[in-house]
Structure 1
Amino acid sequence: VALVSQKAANGSAVHMQKMPRCETEKAIAAYERAKAMDPENAELAVRIGRALVSTHDYQRAVRYYRDAVASDGVNFTVLADLATLYWRLGAPDHAISLLTEAPAHQSEPDVGETVERAIERVNCTLLMCKIYRDSQKPDAATEALLRARGFQEHVLHHMMRSETQETIYQQKIVAATIALELGGYYASIGDAQRAKEFYQEARMYDESNEEVLLAIARLLLDGGDATACEEQCNAVLRISPKSEEAVVILADVMIRQHRFDDAAQHFSQILDETPDNYKALVQYVRLLRHAGRLGDAEKVLERAEELLPLGQRHPSGLSFARGLYHRYCYENLEALRAFNAARLPVDDSPWSIPALTNMIEMYLFSSNEELWVDTVLRDEDKNENVRIAERLLLQMPDGESRDILQGYCWMASKKRSLVERAIKEFKQICATSETMQQHQGSFNDEKDAKEEEKDEDERLLSDANRPPQASGRLNVPVRVGLAIAYFIAGLEKKAAAELKRIVYMPFDPITIDAVHRARLLAAHMSILREDLKMAQGILQKNIEVNKSCPQTWLMMGSVHEIGMSHDEAAECYENAWKLTKERDPSVGYKLAFHRMKSGKIVSAIDVCRKVLEVHPSYPKIHEVMDACCSLLRP
């Protein structure tokens, strides 16, 4: 909330903070002498008070302000300074009480009052709003902001007749700021209609305000009106061609429309201008993953690295982008090194927690195989990777993300007691985090599950185009974890019930990774049931939004392999082979085998040789090599 204040007094306070304490004391003494000669000078009173605050002599500042208010209680700037000081000292109730006693607050708007008094009333209410908001009183803050809006309308409609155009413009900016704040509040609580009304009001007062136009664009995007949102962003870019926020929202529109190449192009333009814009760089790497163009990332990463002085440690944002690239390329060692660099120093980097999260996930999913591939529950201790993940987890702050990762650690242990504990934890998180009514079928007990028909899995994973409608927002990452835990525990029908609610959800950049994993599990379950059509449809949805996942291509290859379609299987395995940079011998073996089966003998031999160059002792590849050579003999 912007407060209209005296620039001279503010500039003086900033200057005071930069002065040595002894110089500040001399300035205070000089101000006091001047005040003694001119007791009615309110600006001097403000300067003295702010100078005292700048020296951190708060008790003396409070005493001075109290005396100033007592001697001249009508000066709003002095009163507002004292209220702000109370607030900053942890006494918001004192601040609010003082502001309610201000003459501007106690009087009602009147066309006969001065412009100054009318503006003071607005500023007083805005300061109260700010204090309420900081005190975690959103209802009171919103009520104050609505009152401020009404007071500002009074200023504009009744008090500006004899004012200059510059003053009128400044007051319109204040009105636009208030309306923008209100629009943001209603957008945050999901009241899109009221948010739209206030954003339009803000635009009426300040047509070229970029922040207002972007807020409208975000509202349109959240409301699903991609076309209008795109038009709004383009309007912003015509006004401000270098508006990074407009480009980000526009790219988000394209992402939701699966136009990943177009979105990547926008971020490429940002990086051409500022190669060290690490937020854009990270998003660019993610987009290239969706588009299946990870090879384009290396050049951009190298350009960002070339800007650094020789020998300088990589900034955390650059290390994080590098880590993502290596992780997406399944270069685990390089990825872990980069993420480890990105998370340090721990308390001073916005990339620390995301990097730590990626490291934990990599230790839990260290290969192309997901947690559900091995469902044999054990009683022995956890493996070393799980131990490392749990040690890293200790460095995560408390919260839902940490709880979810803890659940994954328990699942990865494959110990029955810990898998059951993960189920309990995920259900508890769902109960506390979701506002929707729980679907009763998600939590049926084991007795009910046994009484279900044998084809229940097929029914639960069918109706692809008619996903269930919920009255609230699902906690997708937790629901996916719960589905995996159910499957590992042998509760396939409960897993299917959870997956049905997720696998056909529309694209959302926030939940796409969790939905991607849910689709892999759903496809795995369909393959086990030999429902190849269902599996193929689910996997195709993954490919539409992420063309860089080897596991998806491997599973699609398995579908074609079961169906004896060797050409299609070879094509899928070739994609997986390229995405793993031709390093995974198991993928190379499958590609070589199906090329041989489809009659491409020479091509199969080439793959065999590449596998043997890196893994000379890999046993199965020799069999394919020998078979191919025998087929070439006359």
Structure 2
Amino acid sequence: TDASIYNSDWTPSLGTSMTSSFSLFSCQGCMLRGWVDLSSDKPHTVKKSIKYLEQGMQDTKDVLGLMGKVVCFHLLQHVFSGAGPPGCCPTILALPLSMLNSHGSSSSSRILEKDESNIDACQILAVHELAREGNITTAAEHVRNLINALETREPQNPSLHLKKILVVSRLCGRHQVILRLVCSFIERTFRATSSYAHVATELGYLFILRDQVKEASLWYSEAMKLSKSGMAMTGITWCQILEGHLEEAEHQLEFLKEVQQSLGKSEVLVFLQALLASRKHKGEQEVTALLKEAAELHFSSMRALPLGSEYLERLDPLFLVCIAKEYLLFCPKQPRSPGQIVSPLLKQVTAILNPVVKVAPALIDPLYVMAQVKYLSGELENAQSTLQRCLELDPTSVDAHLLVSQIYLTQGNFAMCSHCLELGISHNFQVRDHPLYHFIKARALNKSGDYPEAIKALKMIINVPTLKMEENKKFRGPSVQPSERVSILLELVDALRMNGELHEATKIMQDAINEFSGTPEEIRITIANVDLVLSKGNVDLALSMLRNITPKQPYYMEAKEKMASIYLQTHKDIRLYIGCYRELCEHLPGPQTSLLLGDAFMNIQEPEKALEVYDEAYRKNPHDASLVSRIGQAYVKTHQYTKAINYYEAAQKISGQDFLCCDLAELFLKLKKFSKAEKVLKQALDHDFVKDIPSMMNDVKCLLLLAKVYKSHKKEDVMETLNKAMDLQSRILKRVPLEQPEMIPSQKQLAASICIHFGEYYLAEKEYAKAVRSYKDALSYSPTDNKVVLELAHLYLLQGHLDLCEQHCDILLQTEKNHEMASVMMADLMFRKQKYEAAINLYHQVLEKAPDNFPVLNKLIDLLRRSGKLEDAPAFFELAKKMSSRVPLEPGFNYCRGIYCWHIGQPNEALKFLNKARKDNTWGQSATYCMVQICLNPDNEIVGGEAFESLVPESNSLERKESERHGVRTAEKLLREFYPQSASGQTQLRLLQSLCLLATREKANVEAALGTFIDMAQAEKDSVPALLAMAQAYSLLKQVPKARTQLKRLAKAPWALAEADDLEKSWLLLADIYCQGGKFDLASELLRRCVQYNKSCCKAYEYMGFIMEREQSYKDAATNYELAWKYSHHANPAIGFKLAFNYLKDKRFVEAIEVCHSVLREHPNYPKIREEILKKAQGSLRP
């Protein structure tokens, strides 16, 4: 029975009173007999104990009997569904020992509420945290509590100390904090009872885990002094191997083998034989055979153990990790390509690690090695899921960050590869010290075409020393394995070759050949050398080098594939190309080479022959999923859809493989045969209730595909199908933490995708609140999914929740600085909030990457105008033109050019460019609107304003009227060719037609236009364009009070980007009215508002100059006219005249002369400026 039973205050009452009835004594006797049988090591005796226990519990719920049944079921590996009385600690304690996975933590917490120093409860909490949760801070606290409980309750019991702490030491991995706690505790135990050799042996093993081999050797030596045990001698041998003393270790192993012949084989001893053979470069077959034997011996010793502390102790996860890592030395170094067979060694490693990952999913070392296995097996997504779990447990794991980056590199996602490397550095600066970091970074740069930077990164690590096998633990600095060094050298050669540095590449390649001649890496270097030889044009030499590689040598398959590529691409010889793959099938027969031959036939457009090869391979391997998919895909690629359908249906009947249902349904969906797709999927889902996770996962896949079918077929059934998928996925998520914890990330991702499907459905139905809730649910499953965050931001923008939208855009830009969609959305937000500088920077970043993004360019031009930096716009036009010679013909490009010309005072150029966009579906309506506005008001005058009327010369006024009439005729012609399709477009057409009437300034036309404007304002309350047009009409009709009433309404309206130009015009017209009435303070307030929202508003500066001039403040007037002249881009001679006049008044004669010359260059006959300003200024300069 458990130690805590005897340590607690509870004890069984054995015949406490002689007056007890005989029946009671008999019951207790039966229960005690049951307990005696439980202590037997014979299974049949243990089974009999249940009979005595049940007899003893007749008509009662005696605690002793209940506990006995719990222990009995525990030993028989059953699960006891009952629970003892709530106040009984021992019964509660027995339960979590047998059900550590689900109830251990909560039950132990209940025990500690009653007995805070209960040893077993403390142990269970520590074990649960280490094995299942992985929170090292919490685990360390539980370990401290366990040590305190042991030292308090059992200070003189070293045997119990070791028994209770061993399971912790086996599960703590390489977490130094817990290792230090455990080592310190065991050292104290040893000092208290220094004759206990087993304690010293355990300390030696713990120091090996801490990579402190010298200390480990000292403790094993100490154990040897106390007892000449095989364990101590084995530990010393292990230390000798790790320190590189291979000869001494070999002699010691021979002696140990002789000693242990009579005792039976030890898994540790066999492992050390394998370790020694590996360090002495023995063959793969010899080493892997020993590793296999070690693993079998290890698992055979724990076969009869139920799940509990002893099982976890004997499992010894880190020992199994050591075996797995030795296996990996002989596994392929690159991920398996599609169609290739998984290495049998990788399958063996999986079999070794699976028991560990299932019972202790929070141990990072087994998880990481399992991720490596999945990566090398070509299961990249599964590897990513496992690594995500590793990083959840330890965000600072250097190895995990580097492997994630390698996966993205393999997938060709160079941006994410670089992002993961930087993310690793942010969590742990030691990532940068790892040679593999620089190698991955260099490969990403090389593959993305940045050869100079790749070369620079590779040269940084080329001098890092190569780590020899026997120096494995002795060398402490940055180092690389021989295979890694070859990879670095070959990558450098490739980068130099691609960068045109052939001479340097040849030199590095020759160095590599010399360095690795006679090693297993020699053939790999030879194959890489072929690319260098080909780059020099020496095809015959390249083929000769490849022919020398025989089928018995490594990399023979790669050599043949390289030869085939040369024959096809260089010689254009299809016969020799296929011949290479036929030779492969002949020398290395199997599914993998058959697939390669079939793929070769597909490459040369001979699908019939490819299908023959695939079919032959399929007949030999009818359960090979990759072959089945390949054949179906071959039919689809050759557009033989009927044959593909027939094949899938026949293959499904023969093999019974469920995944074919989804392939067939997807094919039907592609062919828009929705009813047939629905039928296939419903048949796949028509089965009894399933409980196993793979079947449940397949059902979820079918349901999601069925929902996709219903979107195009039966929209009313989409929600019901998605709900079924979500219910099933929720059941899966409840089970995977206990059964397959490495699948947690991928299954959470799938749950998130189901939520996204919900969100897309609600978004299409314009149920924004429900869509937001669905996307939030998706984020709860996958908090780092940028696509979901972007969709949420978009939804908030649609709902007008700008702060929430900005918050989500910030999240995206923090994780991915150059996220284009987030940058555009954030710029839109900044635009709406009048944060122009920030918005410009964001648009700038987007356009640097995509200069032909014309919607963004259009927004940028408006932003530059409002921030007073319109002179920066031409650089972006030039950037766009560099993209393609066709860019100047693009409607979007011409629209942007037209808008720019309009803003810089070049109306004729603006019309020319806008006319090129007028017929386009995307840009046409906006282009027409702008063209009409330009025709009606080319100089952007204030329609209805009269403050400057007296300053316009009569001759100039007549000329302007003729120009206005011509503009109206042109605008009317444009509107006759304008056919908007939308309701908003029709409203815009009606407004523009009335503005044409307004522009004639004829009373009847103005009154007719006014009637239309009133109707529009009544139809759409607070319509800014309609109210502005009403005010302009009233002003032209000299009904100033009515005009002022409408303008005051607009002065109270909130600023919005879509109405910004019309609001600005209304403020300027109201300021004009105030100026006429001498209310300069009210006018100035409105003008400052104009400048606040548009720093390029030259009319606002002109009015402020006018006010200052009226107040005879010529210096301030000149300052404002300077800004008006600047932002009119020196195109308005009237402003130039006013500026020169105020310079003259301010006695700034030189500046006055310069402005006069500038006006006269463009307008030689401009009235009064020569006589009234230029000559006077020149006269004032003469002595």
TM-score, normalising length: structure 1:
0.68
- Is 2:907 the counterpart of 1:332? yes
Q: Check the 8 A contact 2:763/2:771 in 1, yes or no.
A: yes
Q: Which one of the candidate residues 975, 985, 997 is aligned to 1:402?
A: 985
Distance 2:668 2:794 in 1: 37
Q: 1 CA distance for matches of 2:766 and 2:1085?
A: 33
1:119 and 2:697 correspond: yes
1:209-608 matched pairs, under 5 angstroms: 209-217=785-793, 232-270=808-846, 280-305=856-881, 307=882, 314=888, 316=890, 318-340=893-915, 346=920, 358-369=930-941, 383-390=968-975, 393-394=978-979, 398-400=981-983, 402-414=985-997, 442-443=1017-1018, 479-487=1023-1031, 490=1034, 503-520=1051-1068, 523=1071, 532-557=1080-1105, 567-596=1115-1144, 603-608=1151-1156
- Alpha carbons 2:1024, 2:1059 under 8 Å: kept: no
Distance 1:61 1:260 in 2: 60
Deviations 1:355-375 (A, max 9, x none): 56544544444321266669x
Structure 1 residues 626, 264: closer, same or farther in 2, change over 3 A?
Answer: closer
SS for the counterpart of 1:619 is coil
8 Å CA contact 1:604, 1:628 repeated in 2? no
The residue identity in structure 2 corresponding to 1:207 is: P
What SS class does the counterpart of residue 314 from structure 1 fall into?
A: helix
Q: 1:334 corresponds to which letter in structure 2? A: E
Give 1:161-180 correspondences, 5 Å limit: 161-163=738-740, 165=742, 167-180=743-756
Residue 392 to residue 516, structure 1, CA distance change in 2 (3 Å)? farther
The number of equivalent residue pairs is: 561
Which of 410-419 and 570-579 deviates more?
410-419
Give deviations 1:63-90, integer Å, cap 9, x for gaps: 7499669969997655556655665566
The structural deviation recorded for 1:91 is 6.4
2: CA distance between counterparts of 1:547 and 1:521? 18
Whole-angstrom CA distance in 2 between matches of 1:103 and 1:181:
21
CA distance in 2, matches of 1:222, 1:216: 10
C-alpha distance in 1, partners of 2:981/2:720? Answer: 33
| CA deviation after TM superposition for structure 1 residue 294, in Å | 1.5
Q: Which is further off, 180-189 or 256-265?
A: 180-189
Residues 626 and 545 from structure 1, CA distance in 2 versus in 1: closer, same or farther, beyond 3 angstroms? Answer: closer
Q: In 2, Cα distance between the equivalents of 1:592 and 1:626?
A: 8
Query: Relative to structure 1, is the Cα distance of residues 95 and 326 closer, same or farther in structure 2, using a 3 angstrom cutoff?
Result: farther
1:612 aligns with 2:1160: yes
* Cα distance in 1, alignment partners of residues 1145 and 1010 from structure 2: 44
Query: 2:732: which partner in 1?
Result: 155
Alpha-carbon distance change, 399 to 589 in structure 1, aligned in 2, over 3 angstroms: same
**Superimposed CA distance per residue, residues 199-255 of structure 1 (whole angstroms, 9 cap, x where no aligned partner):** 443333223222234445556667777677656545433432322334334444443
1:525-569, CA deviations, whole angstroms, 9 ceiling, x for partnerless residues? 666776655544333323212111323433444555667765554
Distance 2:1073 2:734 in 1: 67
Structure 2 contact 1028–1062 (Cα < 8 Å) conserved: no
In structure 2, the CA distance between the partners of 1:390 and 1:247, relative to structure 1 (3 Å rule), is same
Q: Shift of the alpha carbon at 1:180? A: 4.1
- Structure 1 residues 331, 47: CA separation in 2 closer, same or farther (over 3 Å shift)? same
Match of 1:292, as an amino acid? G
More divergent stretch after superposition (496-505 vs 277-286): 496-505
TM-superposed CA distance for 1:298, in Å, is 3.3
Question: Is contact 2:662-2:681 (8 Å) kept?
Answer: no
Distance 2:740 2:1164 in 1: 86
**Superposed displacement of residue 613, structure 1:** 2.0
Aligned partners of 1:52, 1:555: CA distance in 2, in Å? 75
Q: Describe how 1:175-186 pairs up with structure 2 within 5 A.
A: 175-183=751-759
Query: Would the aligned equivalents of 1:554 and 1:576 in 2 still touch at CA under 8 Å?
Result: yes
Distance 1:530 1:91 in 2: 77
- In the alignment, the residues of structure 1 paired with residue 699 and residue 870 of structure 2 have an alpha-carbon distance, to the nearest angstrom, of 57
Contact 1:371–1:411, Cα closer than 8 Å, also in 2:
no
Q: 1:576, CA displacement in angstroms?
A: 2.1
Query: Against the structure 1 CA distance between its residues 23 and 387, is the aligned structure 2 distance closer, same or farther, given a 3 Å change threshold?
Result: farther
Question: Which structure has the larger Rg?
Answer: 2
Question: 2:622 touches 2:655 (CA, 8 Å); kept in 1?
Answer: no
- Check the 8 A contact 1:267/1:280 in 2, yes or no: yes
Alignment of 1:121-140 (within 5 A): 121-131=699-709, 133=711
Measured in 2, the distance between the counterparts of 1:70 and 1:253 equals 53
Task: Give unmatched runs, 5+ long, in structure 2.
Answer: 1-337, 340-594, 947-960, 999-1003
Q: Residues 89 and 159 of structure 1: is their aligned pair in 2 closer, same or farther, counting only changes over 3 Å?
A: same
Counterpart residue identity of residue 906, structure 2: E
More deviation, 283-292/234-243: 234-243
Q: CA deviation at 1:125?
A: 4.0
- Structure 1 residue runs without a partner (length 5+): 1-6, 429-441, 445-473
CA pair 26-559 structure 1, distance change in 2 beyond 3 A: farther
TM-score between both structures, scaled by the size of structure 2: 0.40
User: Kindly tell me: are residues 43 and 576 of structure 1, through their superposed partners in 2, closer, same or farther at Cα, counting changes over 3 Å?
Assistant: same
Cα deviation, residue 292, structure 1: 0.6
1:462 aligned residue = none
